[in-house]
Structures are given as C-alpha cells and as structure tokens.
Amino acid sequence: MNMNKPTDGYPERFVLEGVPRIHFYQGGKRCPEDLCFSSAVRACMEYLGMTELGCKHMPSAGTERITTCAYSFVIGISGTAFWLTWKPGYSNDNAEFRLMSDNPGEPIRRTFNALGYAYEYLDPSHMPDEASVIRHIMNSLQAGHPVISFGIVGPPEAGIITGYAESGDILLGWSFFQDDPAFSSAITIDSTGYYRRRGWFKECAGLVIIGEPMKRPSLGVTYREALQWAVQIARKPQVQRNGVLYHSGLAAYQAWADHMADDTAFPANNDMLLREHHWTHEMAIGLVAEARWYGSQFLASMCERVDVDIHRSAIEDIYHASAYLAGIHDLMWRLWDLEGGNGNPEAFRYMADPAVRRQVIPVILEARDKETHAIEHIEHALAVWPSR
C-alpha cells in the first residue's frame, strides 16, 4: 500500500471480536435478515450495546425495549419498508439500497438520526484517497465501532468491516457474499470467521463511519418522520442516479408489470437472457416480500405505544396499513408459487411461458393496489394525529 506511512502509530493488526455475523437466512433463532443494510445496522447496534432494540427470539439484557424486532425497526425508519425501484427495461441494480432517494445518503441519515448516533457517510462519488479512508476505518475500529461498508466483497451491498491487518492492506469483516463461490475466490477466511480482503479499496463503494451516541429523538417524532418518509418514497414516481431515471415507489410496480408483459424480454431459446431478466424479477419479489413483512411489523409495533408515542386517533389507520403490507408479503409468495416455488433453480424457465407471465402481472398490480391503500391509511393517520 503506497500511502507514505499514514498509519504510523497504529497497530499493524486490529480486530473487533464478537461482531454479530450477517448472512442470508440460514435458519436459527433469528428471523430472515436478507436486506443487507438493515441487517448490518442491526448487527452494529447490537455490538455497540443498544439493547433498547431487542429481538423477541433472543435473550434480553434487561433494558426496557422500544421494539422487540430491531431489524423491523431499521427497515421502518430507513424507508426500506416502502422502497421499490425499477430501471426502464430491467437492471441488476434495481435492488441497490441507495436508489431509494435522489440523495443516496438520505436513508442513511434518517436511520442514524432515529437511532441517535452520529455518523459520517463517505459517498463513493466523493471518496477520499485510500490513505484517508484507511485512517477513518482505523480510528473507528480503535474507538470500538465497526464500519458499515458497501462493496468490498461482492456487489455494492452493505457489509461490516470489523478489523484490518498489514497496516490496512487487508480488511476483515462480514459480507453477505463471502461464502458465494462467485466472490469467495477474492478472499480468505480469518480464524475469527471474518473474511480477509486484500486490494479492497478499488472494490469499496462507500462507507458509513458510526460515531458516538447523541440525543435520540422521541419515539413519537421518529414514528411520525418514518410515516412521512414512507409517503414520500411511495408517492415519488422517479428517482435519478447519475443521469439515469428509475421508476420508484408505487410507479415501480407498473414498470415491473409492464416488463413482464414484454414477450421479447423472455425468449425461450436464450437461457442467458431468461436468467438475467428472471433474476431482476426475483430480486424485486424478494425485496418486496421481506421489506413489506417487516414493515407491517414496524407499523404494528408502533401501535403498542398508544398515547405514549402515537395518538390513539391514528391507531386504526396504522393497523390497516400494517395489514395491507402483510397482504403484499403473501402476494409475493403467490408469485414464487407461479414459478415452481421459492428457490426453484429452474424458475427462470417459467418466465419463457407467456401464460405464466400473464398470471404474474395481475398479482404485481394487486400488490401495488394494496400498497396504495396502505399509503392512504398512513396519510390519514398523519392527518388526524395531532403534533406535540
């Protein structure tokens, strides 16, 4: 690493042990956590001792909890619960978390503001030089704080940096993709279980440096802002990134359905194209299924705070919105059933059959309609919920 010794005074190796692992669902006590950013944040907050965010399936540290599902809380405050983007045609980056807003840092800002933690977001378009980045990482780790990374191993999804070796030439951490044969050849596995990645800087697509705790907004403020953000995400028909427009929110459902109606996008004699277009469809199903389910849990848990953090006049509408989101989750399972079941390795072949895709389209549009009703209930809840 040609950095003119910017790491003098730092130990050659430094590792935070015991940072909770993140991974695509592999069973166990925890529920599925397949949305990378929300899972990474949950794991970091757990490591940092934020016991107010609990898990109903895990032992409690005895602190009064503000929620029994930390993962659903992060999904709600970040806006993930109502996020869907679809690039015209199809694109493998539709499910990239930072496409939620024209400002890629906005969902990150909202997340850490609600959690009551200072942070610094190193945007990939304004990434400092390698020496500065490794100093950021070293300082954070020595303060006892893991770093949330985008990229490093696999696609530019969120992971966790837990340490470094060889004065920063090698990073250690957790990635959702470290066991994926498509990406594991670039890494080795440390005795801690963490990945070890050399040549990481060119693969770094952004960092979130978690700072010190600060005054956290009241839950009432957090909930109101989360609901207002949900409406903004759902009602905004397009977001823009690097001059490219993506369909967003409710409008993304229609773009998704339109793509499924395009027979030329699913040629029966082209397995490569079938796989690519089906994968985009599959990512949308997975995102919507998990985000809406945990979004429904976020809204339902909000209603447990009646007259403490939300007003009783809003409860009925919020419960209705929660039920609609849970219904969307069930519709996504219906889509999986139409292609032979969730995880079917031959599912892409079903997409070559126009008759199957003609069944898919009304399910996607029914999901859009349910989400529209959910947003309408949230808008009414905000209208009748007096500010304090």
Burial state string for 273-288 with b = 16 or more CB within 10 A and e = fewer than 16: bbebbbebbbbbbbbb
In a shared domain, residues 270 and 188: no
Residue 8 covered by a domain? no
Residues 226 and 174 placed together within one structural domain of the fold: no
Calculate Rg over the CA atoms of the chain: 21
**206 with 262, same domain?**
no
Residue at a domain's end among 198, 213, 228: 213
User: One digit per residue, pLDDT tens: the chain, 388 residues?
Assistant: 444 445 668 899 999 999 999 999 876 677 889 999 999 999 999 999 887 776 766 666 556 677 778 999 999 999 999 999 999 988 888 889 999 999 999 999 999 999 999 999 999 888 889 999 999 999 999 999 999 999 999 999 999 999 999 999 999 999 999 999 999 999 999 999 999 999 999 999 999 999 999 999 999 999 999 999 999 999 999 999 989 999 999 999 999 999 999 999 999 999 999 999 999 999 999 999 999 999 999 999 998 877 667 788 899 999 999 999 999 999 999 999 999 999 899 999 999 999 999 999 999 999 999 999 999 999 999 999 887 6
Q: Does residue 7 fall inside a structural domain?
A: no
Same domain, 117 and 263: no
Q: Who's near 9: CB < 8 A, 6+ residues apart?
A: none
Q: Residue 2 domain-assigned?
A: no
Please report whether residue 66 resides in a domain: yes
- The CATH number of whichever domain residue 105 belongs to comes to 3.90.70.10
Residues 114 and 174 in one domain: yes
Residues 43 and 104 in one domain: yes
Based on the domain organization, do 80 and 97 belong to the same domain?
A: yes
Contact at 8 Å (CB) between 164 and 194? no
Judge whether 3 and 134 are in contact, CB under 8 Å: yes
Instruction: Transcribe 330-387 into DSSP letters.
Output: HHHHHHHHHTTSTT-TTHHHHTT-HHHHHHHHHHHHHHHHHHHHHHHHHHHHHHHS--
Q: Check whether residue 187 and residue 272 sit in a common domain.
A: no
How many CA atoms lie within 13 Å of 120's alpha carbon, on the beta-carbon side? Answer: 14
User: Same domain, yes or no, for 19 and 168?
Assistant: yes
Residue 277 lies in a domain: yes
28 is a domain residue: yes
Which residues lie closer than 8 Å to 44 by C-beta, 6 or more apart? 19, 145, 146, 148, 160, 210
**pTM for the whole structure:** 0.94
Indicate the number of domains in the chain.
2
- Residue 309 and residue 161 in one domain: no
One domain for residues 170 and 113:
yes
Same domain, 56 and 96: yes
3 within a domain of the structure (yes/no): no
| Residue span of the structural domain in which 138 resides | 14-213
User: Of 168, 189, 213, which residue sits at a domain end?
Assistant: 213
**Which residue among 213, 235, 263 closes a domain?**
213
State the DSSP string of 278-334. HHHHHHHHHHHHHHHHHHHHHHHHHGGGBTTTB-GGGHHHHHHHHHHHHHHHHHHHH
287 within some domain: yes
Residue 123 DSSP label: -
